[in-house]
Every structure is written in C-alpha cells, then in structure tokens.
A = this chain, B = another copy of it.
Amino acid sequence: MNRPWSNIVTEEEERRYRAAGFGREGGLGKRPALLIIDVQYRTIGTREAPFWESIEEFKTSCGDTGWEAVRHIAPLLERFRERNLPVIYPYVAPKQSFDKGRLAAKVPELMTIAQDGYRFVEEIAPQEDDVLLPKKHPSAFYGTPLASYLIDLGCDGVVVTGCSTSGCVRSSVVDAFSYNFHVTVPEECVYDRSPAAHAVNLFDMAYKYADVKPLADIDAALAMIGGKETS
C-alpha cells in the first residue's frame, strides 16, 4: 500500500517493525474529541502562499501545505459538530516577558511573532463551548489541564489535527497514548515545514502510538459513533 512515508522509509524497515509486532489498530474509542493544534495564522500566513513567501509574514509559517490541511480539517470539524462530539483548540499563547526557558534559547525567533499571528484561522475557528487551551510547551498535555477536560467530557479518544506533524502534533500524540486515550491521526489534516519530518513522524506514530489513516476512512468510522445520525 502506498503510504505517506513510502518514499523515505524502506520496505525492509517496515518489515522490521512488523516483525517486532508494532502497528496494530487501536480504534477511535467510543467518544473521541477533536484536537485542532496551533492552527493560527502564525503557522499558515493570513493568505495562501508558498513557503518562502509565507515566512516573510510570519517566520513560523509552514506556507501553502498548511492551507491544504485546513481545507481537510474543515469537513472533519463539521462532522464532529454534527455528532455533538467535543472540539478542543490547544494553541500557542502569545509570549510574555517571563516566557524564556529552553524554547527561547533554541528558537529565539519564536519570541517575537506579531500578536496578529496568534488569531485562530477563520475557516475552522472555535465556536461557543469549544475548549480553548493556551499552552507554553509542545505537547497539548504538558503544563495544561487537557487530561482534566477530556475526563470531564467523558472522552476515551482523541483525533489529532494541526501542526506541526513533527512538533506539537507528535508530542501530543505520544502523551495521549501514554494516558491510554485512543489516538487517531487523519494524515491529510496535519502539516509541517519539512516533508521528510512530516513523513517519518507519520511513520513513527502509525507504528507505535496511533491509527494514522486517510481522512475518508476516519470520517466513515466517525459516522458510526456519537449521538446524531447523518442524513
């Protein structure tokens, strides 16, 4: 089967993982929440443009690959709303003078993004009663009460979208897995500035932590759960 990582991970490597027993399916859980991570203008730009042009607006932009993902997240979000399943927006909180630490040492440019970049992308913006979750570190679980919200909402799984595949998405997926939530990643709904990192992180997650699947398959499974039937 052609997978997003097929050009970069060899068939021999995949055989190694299967021999070790990795990669079984886990399922969506009975009541998954949708996580839309860091889909703010700072990661895609205020208008669709190629990478090198887009970073002139925000250094942290992933460019048009991000806009492409937004177009896939939109119908998935619609599906969650239709079925009354929870939607959660972990997002990068604007940096304050006291937010230094290892992040500022490693990536100093992150400290000076214009306030405007922190706005949510309009096409998939939060509605009333969605959970807004400011975060200071990569994982949506680290230093936040995300686990508390999921437990209160009666969720046993998360569907993870947004960016970057190799950064905040990856670390949130590993933490969700560690908490024993079911974890699903629709492969068209996550994005990254590096195609190699995007592909290999999908591979890592698929074999070790999550069900990584085409959006259509996930949407079909979602149509079977939740409170409200689709017409």
Interface residue from B98, B151, B167, B209 paired with A129 (Cβ < 8 Å): B98
* CA–CA, A110 and B201, complex, Å: 21
A109-148 CB contacts (< 8 Å) to partner B: 109-110, 128-132, 136-139, 142-148
Segment of A12-20, A71-79, A221-229 engaged in the interface with chain B: A12-20
Q: Which residue of B lies closest to A22 (CB)?
A: B107
**Does A81 count as interface, using CB distance less than 8 angstroms?**
no
The size class of the interface chain A forms with chain B is 35 or more
Whether A101 pairs with B137 at a CB distance below 8 angstroms is no
Known: A102-B177, A174-B171, A180-B148. A204 touches B166 (CB 8 A): yes
CB-CB under 8 A from A201, the residues of chain B are 200, 204
B204 and A106 form a contact (CB under 8 A): no
Q: Does A59 contact B (CB under 8 A)?
A: yes
Q: Give the CA-CA distance A5 to B170 in the complex, in Å.
A: 19
CA distance A10 to B195 in the complex (A): 9
When the two chains form their complex, are residues B171 and A59 in contact, meaning their CB atoms are under 8 A apart? no
Q: Are A208 and B148 in contact (CB under 8 A)?
A: no
A216 adjacent to chain B (CB < 8 Å): no
Residue from B59, B149, B200 in contact with A21 in the complex, judged by beta carbons closer than 8 Å: B59
What residue of chain B has the Cβ atom nearest to residue A155's Cβ?
Answer: B151
Q: Which residues of B contact A142 (CB under 8 A)?
A: 145, 175, 178
Inter-chain contact A106/B137, CB cutoff 8 Å: no
Residues of B within 8 A of A209 (CB): 102, 106
Contact residues in B for A183 (Cβ distance below 8 Å):
102
Contact call A194/B148, Cβ cutoff below 8 A: no
Report if A26 contacts B (CB, 8 A): yes
A110 to B129, CA, bound (A): 18
